[in-house]
Amino acid sequence: MNAPTESLIAVRDVARVYVDGSVEVHALRGVDLDIDEGEFTALAGPSGSGKTTLLNMIGALDAPTRGAVTVAGHDVTGLGRAAAATFRLQNVGFIFQAYNLLPVLTAVENAEFTLQLQGVPKAERRAKVVPLLERVGLGEQLHRRPHEMSGGQQQRVAIVRALASSPRIVLADEPTANLDTATSEDLLDLMLELNAESGVTFVFSTHDPAVIRRARRVVRLDSGHIVGDERRESCADGGDDAAA
């Protein structure tokens, strides 16, 4: 179902309550948020602040208890499992902190997996992902499986997989959590370059100061509320973010 909106992502009065036995956990409490095409946005906050839950709402991985979410012109609030999967396949690339690579597939096979699900022929898939893998420094790793690659190399494969299908939106959940500082910096620089070149919208959930420094917009959450929203003309090059 389509719904008109000026923003690429529109979140309206979204609440999410999880029930754990007899205890209600309020992960989000009436959140409103708009994200425009081409933004490079960090959802920042401590563990339990609601940032990952909000990211999951945008990606149609979870449904709100109350409120509405519109993404790329689609009302994703109440999509069934099959419809949500189709929406994600057509519109969203995901980068997870655990990489989520298939262990039996090589780097190039993992990178082209979304394209394969979309029915893209093998030759076309390879022509698209191999140059991307070469660009991220994996030209010599094309036929290695995940256990034969470092964490940084696996995350590069995950980034290529997320971008290969040319999605309008890339959602990244703590993408630097398992990486060393140097690798994190390199990958963030790469994603900034791709954002600038292709206009793809990036939304991160993070508490990593390195991600927050590079974001052009930082939306801060605490206890399920948005408590800050800072826009920057350009990303910072260094320094700690004490409020991260």
Domains along the chain?
Answer: 38-60+80-231 (3.40.50.300)
pLDDT of residue 190: 82
pLDDT of residue 236: 53
Q: Are 208 and 176 in contact (CB under 8 A)?
A: yes
Q: Which residue has the tokens 């979204």?
A: 14
d(CA 196, CA 216): 11
pLDDT of residue 22: 86
pLDDT of residue 234: 60
pLDDT tens string 18-55: 998 889 999 999 999 999 999 999 999 998 999 999 99
Q: Are 39 and 219 in contact (CB under 8 A)?
A: no
Reported pTM: 0.87
pLDDT tens string 148-200: 999 889 988 998 999 898 899 999 998 888 778 888 888 888 888 888 888 89
pLDDT of residue 116: 94
d(CA 44, CA 219): 6
pLDDT tens string 96-141: 888 899 999 999 999 999 999 999 999 999 999 999 899 888 999 9
pLDDT tens string 193-233: 888 888 899 999 998 898 899 999 999 999 999 999 999 87
pLDDT tens string 61-103: 999 999 999 999 999 998 899 999 999 999 999 998 888 999 9
Handedness of CA 131, 149, 99, 36 (dihedral sign): negative
Question: What string of H, E and C letters represents the secondary structure of the chain?
Answer: CECCCCCCEEEEEEEEEEEECCEEEEEEEEEEEEECCCCEEEEECCCCCCHHHHHHHHCCCCCCCEEEEEECCEECCCCCHHHHHHHHHHHEEEEECCCCCCCCCCHHHHHCHHHHHCCCCHHHHHHHHHHHHHHCCCCCCCCCCHHHCCHHHHHHHHHHHHHHCCCCEEEEECCCCCCCHHHHHHHHHHHHHHHHHHCCEEEEEECCHHHHHHCCEEEEEECCEEEEEEECCCCCCCCCCCCC
d(CA 111, CA 105): 9
The stretch 1-10 carries a mean pLDDT of 69
Residue 21 Ramachandran class (φ > 0 left, ψ -120 to 50 alpha, else beta) = left
d(CA 62, CA 84): 9
pLDDT of residue 239: 42
